[in-house]
Amino acid sequence: MEPIIQDLGFIIGTTLMYSTPLIFTSLGGVITERSGVINIGLEGMMYFGAFAGAAVAYFSQDPWLGLLCAALGGAFWGLIHAIACVSFSAEQIVSGIAINFLGAGSALFISRLLFDGATQTLTVARKIPQPLDFLFGEGKMFASSGFTDLVFNRFATVYLAFFLVFVVWFVLYKTQLGMRVRAVGENPEAANTLGINVTRIRYGAVIMSGFFAGLGGAAMSIAVVSRFSNTLISGHGFIALAAMIFGKWKPQGALVACLLFGAAKGLEIFLGSKGVPVAGDILAMLPYVLTIIILIGFVGKTTAPAAIGKIFDKGDH
Amino acid sequence: MTAIDFSHRAVEMSGITKKFGDFVANENINLTVHRGEVHALLGENGAGKTTLMNILYGLLKPSSGNIKINGKTLTISDPNIAIRNGIGMVHQHFMLVEPFSVTENIILGNESTRGFGILDAGKGEKEVKRISEQYGLTVDPKALIQDLSVGSQQRVEILKTLYRGAQILILDEPTAVLTPQEIKELVAIITNLTEAGKSIIIITHKLNEIKQMADFCTIIRRGRHIDTVDVSEVTEEDLAAKMVGREVSFRVAKEKRNPGEKILDIKELCVEDSRGIMVVNGLNLQLRKGEILGIAGIDGNGQTQLIETLTGLRKAKSGRIEVLGKDITNLPPGKIINNHKVGHIPEDRQKRGLVFEFNIAENLILETYFKPAFSEGFSLLHKNIYKNADTLIEKFDIRPRDATLQAKSLSGGNQQKMIIAREVSNEPELLIAAQPTRGLDVGAIEYVHQALVAQRNEGKGVLLVSFELDEIMNVSDRIAVIFEGKIVGILDADDADEKKIGLLMAGGTAKE
Ligand SMILES: Nc1ncnc2c1ncn2[C@@H]1O[C@H](COP(=O)(O)OP(=O)(O)OP(=O)(O)O)[C@@H](O)[C@H]1O
Ligand SMILES: [Mg+2]
């Protein structure tokens, strides 16, 4: 096979793999911000999810149980954020920052308890499977490490992420619930006068955002790699947040943005593996630099939900 | 005015009291509305009309009192209960989701679905179409709210209530933001609705509208029920007197004066709007000291952009603006306000006139906070700031008399008084007033008009822009008519009449 084709396959494959955690998390961002609540705690929720996923997968030897627990762990922190911001009208940015510390801190704390004082888990026995291998047997469907294999034979989380982009889009734009979520994010007073329960909608959205960020963390710790370590997440939550803004608060937009960041990561790994004479640290900066450049130069005027970050005061009931 | 069914009491509110802390916004108010009746609520700004209606709609909880709907006692603790009992409300400030379509706004919270919560967009649209045709409320179901005129947005608000099967409609100052043509359309709609057996409660400050539309009128003063009258038995003067508790004069008393030197000189001014269309197009205008110059015109003929340019909020494409002989074209607003002494009462008081989250005292020094009276080095002199506020609150009768209240908790009329207090106390040489009485009660209007005339009598210049022809003719010394971005005629107030001005406003020429 042509080496160029194979290289391309490699880059696309790594792009998909590294985009996946971002996609989950930025979908979470879309959901919460569409309801009008800013959640910069996504990083901490993702961090906690990465740990919870790896720890549960390690002890139970079941990656699916790990994935589920990661999502529930993220949702727990989502609930905390909702209580602070929705019920107690806390400043949303401050609560988000606190959750970034708490999510990471609690993950490391539990990790030290469970893994002999280490700030990383042990390697899980079974990662999230690659469904095509599972269904057809390894190397049966596509020639091993060929272009098609590199591109299409991915972890289950990759397919799940793409599927969830569709689901979130469908729910937001085609269902009653989604319409109400968007209305609450644009004009909560108006929604309230029509008898929509703003508090309940916002709670649901913020908790779901934690759920998705948790999935994103696990997609990192038990699919991309096979264990949690304290530097694993390092800013992915924030990149996902940037991707959501770049994607103009739309699931499909966030998907494109995440793929772009994933591609930067894929390129970084590819160039690294080819031994190009550029320091690895410089290459590692690529996704972050790209984030900044895109945010400065290409996003232009974005239209955030109108009520974002504003406290909704129902009056004196 | 025909189909009132006196045997059927649609709404019966009795002994309603509402307190915000120590402040009593409603005190023991009674209100009865029959089926098919149009009932007007009249009261000064801050009298408690909106509060009373918010209670009926379940947005506020009364401190005490009793509500019966169609004879049944109800506790309306949230809007859902009101909606279920056939009550609909069009709010003073529209409650619309701007990026949503008309249909989406109407069905929101009450969506038709195909099961599993999946929206049935087509069905909603059809339903909206059907209702809008039934009551003559024309609006495109697919249009986005942000693209609609204020009049259309209001129709959407009315449709929202009808879609939910409202039998009792509350309209809170529906005409304040409408053009005269749109008001005519609204009157027709209201007639359609009462003929269909619906009851309507309408809040308005315009007495002629009450005479024209309403069967009964309940007057509230400072939270108290003053009287309920049969509209056919009273005059506009009676209504005004009941409302403010004294005689109100509709005509502004002013002596003839000889205008002095030129204060404002606009030469060949051209301005584009945000879409890049030239909406002020070679405009010339002069204003002298001791003169009120009114600009009459139909909304959208460049008035907004003209004022924005005069106050430095928008850049002129070409042309020149002079104040007292000095060029101020395209200077930043701060310079225009402070160095050239131009005051501005903006058209949109909530967006440009005040800071919602600031209190009254802070709003009153927005333009002067840096002056020695209010600041020293890096710190603000709070004692002086509040003393200033107390003086102005007293002098301009801003209610309630509490400088620490946030601007957003004031009634619309009192917000306006606050802006006028700030602008006038800054002693401008030229005062630009855009729609200064929009949404104000007759008492407050009288007050604002007197304030404008006082400026003029002190030898200052006043530029007044208004869509209310009455106001223009009543207050101005000279009247300039604007049409498609140009002044198409200037008349002396003494020999101007509605017909002449109306003709010019519509693009005709002033021929004798
Ligand atoms: N949430 C609140 N907290 C404190 N005071 C309030 C609140 N809402 C209204 N008020 C006060 O209650 C009084 C009545 O207000 P309301 O809005 O009912 O007046 P209104 O009659 O509708 O006046 P307008 O004609 O200007 O709209 C005002 O003095 C206002 O400042
Ligand atoms: Mg009101």
* Rounded distance between C-alpha atoms, residue B390 and residue B490, angstroms: 41
* Rounded distance between C-alpha atoms, residue B501 and residue B509, angstroms: 10
Residue with CA at minimum distance from ligand 1 atom 2: B409
Distance (angstroms) between ligand 1 centre and the Cα of A64 equals: 57
Residue with CA at minimum distance from ligand 1 atom 26: B45
* Rounded distance between C-alpha atoms, residue B29 and residue A224, angstroms: 68
Containing H/E element for B49? Answer: helix B49-56
pLDDT > 70: what percent of chain A?
95
* Rounded distance between C-alpha atoms, residue B392 and residue B125, angstroms: 52
Tens digits of residue pLDDT in B66-104: 999 999 999 999 899 999 999 999 998 889 999 999 999
Searching chain B, which residue's CA lies closest to the CA of residue A177?
A: B117
pLDDT at A261 over 60: yes
For chain B, give the number of residues: 512
pLDDT at B511 over 60: no
pLDDT at B451 over 80: yes
* Rounded distance between C-alpha atoms, residue B320 and residue B52, angstroms: 50
Q: Is the CB of B443 under 6 A from ligand 1?
A: no
Asked whether the beta carbons of A49 and A217 are under 8 A apart, the reply is: yes
Q: What is the pLDDT of residue A24?
A: 98
Cα of B80 to nearest chain A Cα, Å: 5
pLDDT at A315 over 60: no
* Rounded distance between C-alpha atoms, residue B60 and residue B82, angstroms: 12
Give mean pLDDT, residues B320-335.
94
The tokens describing A272, both together, are 């690294």
Reported confidence tier of residue B512, pLDDT bands at 50, 70, 90: very low
Q: What is the pLDDT of residue B1?
A: 47
Q: What is the pLDDT of residue B22?
A: 86
Residue type, A77: W
Are the beta carbons of A196 and B109 separated by less than 8 Å? yes
Q: Is the CB of B25 under 6 A from ligand 1?
A: yes
pLDDT at A316 over 70: no
Cα of A213 to nearest chain B Cα, Å: 25
A133, burial (CB in 10 Å: exposed 0-12, middle 13-18, buried 19+): middle
Q: What is the pLDDT of residue B491?
A: 92
DSSP string, B154-211: HHHHHHHHHHTT-SEEEEESTTTT--HHHHHHHHHHHHHHHHTT-EEEEE-S-HHHHH
* Rounded distance between C-alpha atoms, residue B389 and residue B366, angstroms: 12
pTM assigned to the model: 0.82
Q: What is the pLDDT of residue B251?
A: 76
User: What mean pLDDT value characterizes chain B?
Assistant: 90
Q: Is A101 helix (H, G, I), strand (E, B) or coil?
A: helix
Residue with CA at minimum distance from ligand 1 atom 8: B409
Q: Which atom of ligand 1 is nearest to the CA of B53?
A: 18
* Rounded distance between C-alpha atoms, residue A269 and residue A7, angstroms: 11
Q: Which ligand is nearest to the CA of B60?
A: 1
Asked if the peptide bond before residue B400 counts as cis, ω within 30 degrees of 0, the response is yes
Q: Which atom of ligand 1 is nearest to the CA of B441?
A: 25
Tokens 């009865």, residue located: B32
B385, burial (CB in 10 Å: exposed 0-12, middle 13-18, buried 19+): buried
Is CATH 1.10.8 the classification given to domain A3-298? no
Q: Is the CB of B356 under 6 A from ligand 1?
A: no
pLDDT at B256 over 70: yes
Give mean pLDDT, residues B306-315.
94
Distance (angstroms) between ligand 1 centre and the Cα of B409 equals: 7
* Rounded distance between C-alpha atoms, residue B233 and residue B248, angstroms: 19
Q: What is the pLDDT of residue A300?
A: 61
Asked whether the beta carbons of B217 and B228 are under 8 A apart, the reply is: yes
Reported confidence tier of residue A317, pLDDT bands at 50, 70, 90: very low
Which is higher by pLDDT, A302 or A115? A115
Tokens 């009926």, residue located: B56
Where do the domains of chain A lie? 3-298
Tens digits of residue pLDDT in A149-199: 888 888 899 999 999 999 999 999 999 999 999 999 999 999 999 999 999
* Rounded distance between C-alpha atoms, residue B176 and residue B159, angstroms: 19
B169 DSSP β-pair partners: B88, B200
The values of phi and psi at residue B5, to 5°, are -105, 100
Which is higher by pLDDT, B439 or A262? A262
The strands making up B486-492's β-sheet, listed across from edge to edge, are: B342-345, B430-434, B461-465, B291-296, B478-483, B486-492
Residue type, B264: L
Q: Which ligand is nearest to the CA of B399?
A: 1
The values of phi and psi at residue A136, to 5°, are -110, -5
- Please report, in angstroms and rounded to a whole number, the separation of the first and last CA atoms in chain A: 71
Residue with CA at minimum distance from ligand 1 atom 19: B46
A270, burial (CB in 10 Å: exposed 0-12, middle 13-18, buried 19+): middle
Q: What is the pLDDT of residue A98?
A: 97
Q: What is the pLDDT of residue A302?
A: 64
Distance (angstroms) between ligand 1 centre and the Cα of B25 equals: 7
DSSP string, B62-98: -SEEEEEETTEEE---SHHHHHHTTEEEE-SS----T
Cα diameter, chain B: 75
Tens digits of residue pLDDT in A225-255: 999 999 999 899 999 998 998 888 999 999 9
Q: Which ligand is nearest to the CA of B440?
A: 1
Question: Which of A174, A191, A195 faces B83 most closely, judged by CB atoms?
Answer: A195
Searching chain A, which residue's CA lies closest to the CA of residue B112?
A: A176
The tokens describing A128, both together, are 């999230």
Tens digits of residue pLDDT in B285-306: 999 999 999 999 887 889 989 9
A137 Cβ under 8 Å from any chain B Cβ: no
pLDDT at B62 over 70: yes
A297, burial (CB in 10 Å: exposed 0-12, middle 13-18, buried 19+): exposed
Residue with CA at minimum distance from ligand 1 atom 1: B409
Cα of A99 to nearest chain B Cα, Å: 28
Tens digits of residue pLDDT in B167-214: 999 999 998 777 777 888 899 999 999 999 999 999 999 899 999 999
Q: Where in chain B is the domain with CATH 3.40.50.300?
A: 5-244, 262-341+430-512
Q: What is the pLDDT of residue B19?
A: 94
pLDDT > 70: what percent of chain B?
99
Pick the CATH number of B5-244 from 3.30.930.10, 1.10.10.60, 3.40.50.300, 3.40.50.150: 3.40.50.300
pLDDT at B113 over 90: no
Interface test with B, best of A169, A181, A187 (most B CBs within 10 A): A187
A192 Cβ under 8 Å from any chain B Cβ: yes
Question: Which of B91, B110, B119 faces A193 most closely, judged by CB atoms?
Answer: B91
The values of phi and psi at residue B88, to 5°, are -130, 150
DSSP state of B483: E
A179 Cβ under 8 Å from any chain B Cβ: yes
CA B401, B406, B407, B410 dihedral sign is negative
ipTM: 0.86
pLDDT > 90: what percent of chain B?
66
Q: Which CATH architecture has domain B262-341+430-512?
A: 3-Layer(aba) Sandwich (3.40)
Cα of B502 to nearest chain A Cα, Å: 38
Tens digits of residue pLDDT in A91-146: 999 999 999 999 999 999 999 999 999 999 999 989 998 888 777 777 676 777 77
Asked whether the beta carbons of B365 and B384 are under 8 A apart, the reply is: no
Asked whether the beta carbons of A121 and A220 are under 8 A apart, the reply is: no
The tokens describing B58, both together, are 């379940």
The values of phi and psi at residue B285, to 5°, are -165, 140
Q: Which residues contact A15 (CB under 8 A, 6 or more apart)?
A: A259, A262, A263, A265, A266
DSSP string, A232-262: SSTTHHHHHHHHHHHTTT-HHHHHHHHHHHH
User: What mean pLDDT value characterizes chain A?
Assistant: 90
Other CB atoms within 10 Å distance of the CB of residue B387? 14
Distance (angstroms) between ligand 2 centre and the Cα of B104 equals: 27
Cα of A246 to nearest chain B Cα, Å: 19
* Rounded distance between C-alpha atoms, residue B384 and residue B2, angstroms: 59
Q: Which residues contact B93 (CB under 8 A, 6 or more apart)?
A: B350
Q: Which atom of ligand 1 is nearest to the CA of B413?
A: 26
Q: What is the pLDDT of residue B46?
A: 86
Closest CA to B364 of B329, B395, B333: B395
Asked whether the beta carbons of A81 and A210 are under 8 A apart, the reply is: yes
Reported confidence tier of residue B49, pLDDT bands at 50, 70, 90: very high
Asked whether the beta carbons of A53 and A227 are under 8 A apart, the reply is: no
Give mean pLDDT, residues A7-17.
90
Give mean pLDDT, residues A273-280.
79
Tens digits of residue pLDDT in B408-420: 888 878 898 999 9
Asked whether the beta carbons of B153 and B96 are under 8 A apart, the reply is: yes
Distance (angstroms) between ligand 1 centre and the Cα of B178 equals: 22
Q: What is the pLDDT of residue A85?
A: 95
A274 Cβ under 8 Å from any chain B Cβ: no
